[in-house]
Structure formats: structure tokens, C-alpha cells
């Protein structure tokens, strides 16, 4: 049985006081549910240390939104896995659509980042998802397959066990138009079958697949009710304590009824 996993991707939002308040609010609302659901928050780099402190003894995990694959050196502006661990991160988002499509990160670069994150002992949340024109052209399966095959190339089954995959259709991110539960389930199942063929059945059965893209307090329960939706990666709604807490509760309830 896969434990549900809710991630909050704060993107380039909050300020130092707001980030601390949000983290403290979440500990109050979510801590009692953490036996049933894993929760992580991913603030901007500059607030990681402050959020770590604000989380205190809570089991809410801390994640970064990106990292660079080299351990140290002359890479101006970049942040290494070791630095992330040093400030208390357990998770790192890799290949978010905004990094793929706004910043221009390639499958090859993301493969290097995934390998480096795993080797450093971070738990990657590896994002995949198609553009609107790719969905309209019925290329969703092909695009997601290629992103996973290239991104996870050369990663052994033992190492791949630390990965969470986040399926985030680009057309659903920040638009208010979420994938329907049926659309999410269809792609999640396809991803699980792909992983079974790349690795093996038991690996595919235990790997968690989050859905992301306009997930919110109102639609979390129906998304989480899908058999292969193991969690949500939440953007906008993760910036509001009450909304995020409702999402965490929906995840805990959805899977405890199974
Ligand atoms: P929204 O929830 O704001 O659509 O963002 C989703 C996302 O990109 C999470 O990584």
C-alpha cells in the first residue's frame, strides 16, 4: 500500500515572514495527519533555512524546487545537493514544467540532476507532463514516456525506489483547469505500466505518482480517489494554510478507506 504524499511547491512566492508563518501554520494543521500521509513543502532556496527552523520537530518534510548536479565549484548561481542537505532538505523537485519550458532544461540535464540527487541521498520528485498542443495531438503518452525513459536512463531499480513521479500536464498548471480525475488516472496507469516494463512489477507497484496542475481543496478528494493517484503536487493552493490542510486531509481520508 502506497502512503499518500502531498507536496507544496511554493514556486517564486512568499517572503521571509510569510514563509515562516505558512510553515508554522501547516505544522499546527497537519501534524496530526502525518501518520497517514507524507507532506513536504518546497519554499524558494533563500527561505529554506528559515522554514526548516519554523517546522521545528514536525515531520513535515522540506524540499527544494531545483538543484545543480555538480557537488561544488565554479557554477555561479547554482545550488548543490550537499547545500540542500546542509540546510535540512530531504526532497528536491526535478524537471518541473517551468524549468523545462521557461528555463529550457533538457531531458539530458534532468537525468544528471536525478542521478546526483539520488546519490546525495535526497528524495527526488521528478516532474513530467505534456503541453496542450501535445495533448490535442494525442501525444501525451509518447511525451511522458520519453521524459521518463530519458530522465531515468541508467538509474538502477534500487536507486529509482527513492523517486516520486509527479505527472503535471502543463495546460493544467496555474490555469484553474485541472485534469479530470479520469484523465489523471489514465496517465498515471500508463506511467505505472511503463515503469513495470522498464524495471519490474513490484517496483512499479510501490512507486508513488503525484498529480499536479490546479489541484485544490475542492478537487483533491476526487483526484485522490483514483487508484493510481498517490498524492498531489500543489502550487497555488499550497500557499494558503487552510486550503493545503484540507488537501492533506483529503489525501489521508481517500487512502484510509481503501
Ligand atoms: P498549481 O497548483 O498552481 O496549478 O501548480 C501546480 C504545480 O506546478 C505544482 O508543482
pLDDT tens-digit readout, 63-115: 999 999 999 999 999 999 999 999 999 999 999 999 999 999 999 999 999 99
Distance 55 CA to ligand 1 centre (A): 22
The domain locations on the chain are 5-256
Question: What are the residue numbers of the active site?
Answer: 96, 168
pTM of this prediction? 0.98
C-alpha span between 15 and 141 (Å, rounded): 38
Q: Tell me how far the alpha carbon of residue 209 lies from the centroid of ligand 1, in angstroms.
A: 15
Distances from the Cα of 128 to the Cα of 10, 14, 151, 176, angstroms? 18, 25, 9, 19
> With bands split at pLDDT 50, 70 and 90, how would you rate the model's confidence at 256?
confident
Q: At what angle do helices 140-151 and 107-120 cross, to 10 degrees?
A: 50
Tell me how far apart the alpha carbons of residues 141 and 25 are, in angstroms, rounded to a whole number: 39
Distance CA 224, CA 210 (A): 9
Q: Is the dihedral of CA 165, 168, 169, 170 positive or negative?
A: negative
Residue nearest to atom 5 of ligand 1 (CA): 235
168 grid coordinates = 503535471
pLDDT at 34 over 80: yes
Number of H helices, E strands in the chain: 12, 8
258 pLDDT above the threshold of 80: no
CB atoms within 10 A of CB 137: 12
Please give the distance, rounded to the nearest whole angstrom, from the Cα atom of residue 7 to the centre of ligand 1.
10
Cβ–ligand 1 distance for 214 under 6 Å, the answer: yes
Nearest CA to ligand 1 atom 1: 235
Flag whether pLDDT at 13 surpasses 70: yes
Residue 116 has a pLDDT of: 98
Query: What CA–CA distance (Å, rounded) separates 152 from 198?
Result: 10
The mean pLDDT of the chain is 97
Share of the chain above pLDDT 70, in %: 99
Q: Is 128 in the pocket of ligand 1 (CB under 6 A)?
A: no
pLDDT number for residue 1 = 85
- Ligand 1: distance of its center to the CA of 152 in Å? 22
Which homologous superfamily is 5-256 in? Aldolase class I (3.20.20.70)
> For residue 125, what are the CA distances in angstroms to 7, 164, 231?
9, 5, 11
Asked if residue 213 has its Cβ within 6 Å of ligand 1, the reply is yes
Amino acid at each position: 500500500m502506497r502512503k499518500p504524499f502531498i507536496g507544496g511547491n511554493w514556486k517564486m512566492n512568499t517572503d521571509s515572514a510569510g514563509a515562516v508563518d505558512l510553515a508554522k501554520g501547516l505544522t499546527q494543521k497537519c501534524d496530526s495527519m502525518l501518520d497517514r500521509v507524507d507532506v513536504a513543502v518546497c519554499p524558494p532556496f533563500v527561505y529554506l533555512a528559515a522554514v526548516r527552523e519554523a517546522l521545528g520537530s514536525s515531520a513535515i518534510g522540506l524540499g527544494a524546487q531545483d538543484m545543480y548536479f555538480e557537488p561544488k565549484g565554479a557554477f555561479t548561481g547554482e545550488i548543490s545537493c550537499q547545500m540542500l542537505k546542509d540546510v535540512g532538505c530531504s526532497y528536491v523537485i526535478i524537471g518541473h514544467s517551468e524549468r523545462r519550458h521557461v528555463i529550457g532544461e533538457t531531458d539530458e540535464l534532468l537525468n544528471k540532476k536525478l542521478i546526483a540527487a539520488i546519490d546525495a541521498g535526497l528524495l527526488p520528485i521528478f516532474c513530467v507532463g505534456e503541453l496542450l498542443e501535445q495533448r490535442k495531438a494525442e501525444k501525451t503518452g509518447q511525451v511522458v514516456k520519453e521524459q521518463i525513459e530519458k530522465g531515468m536512463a541508467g538509474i538502477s531499480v534500487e536507486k529509482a525506489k527513492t523517486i516520486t513521479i509527479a505527472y503535471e500536464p502543463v495546460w493544467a498548471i496555474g490555469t484553474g483547469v485541472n485534469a479530470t480525475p479520469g484523465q489523471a488516472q489514465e496517465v498515471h496507469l500508463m506511467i505505472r505500466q511503463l515503469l513495470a516494463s522498464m524495471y519490474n512489477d513490484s517496483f512499479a507497484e510501490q512507486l508513488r505518482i503525484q498529480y499536479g496542475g490546479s489541484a485544490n481543496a475542492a478537487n483533491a478528494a476526487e483526484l485522490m480517489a483514483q487508484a493510481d493517484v498517490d498524492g498531489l503536487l500543489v502550487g497555488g493552493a499550497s500557499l494558503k494554510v487552510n486550503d493545503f490542510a484540507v488537501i492533506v486531509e483529503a489525501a489521508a481520508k481517500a487512502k484510509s478507506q481503501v
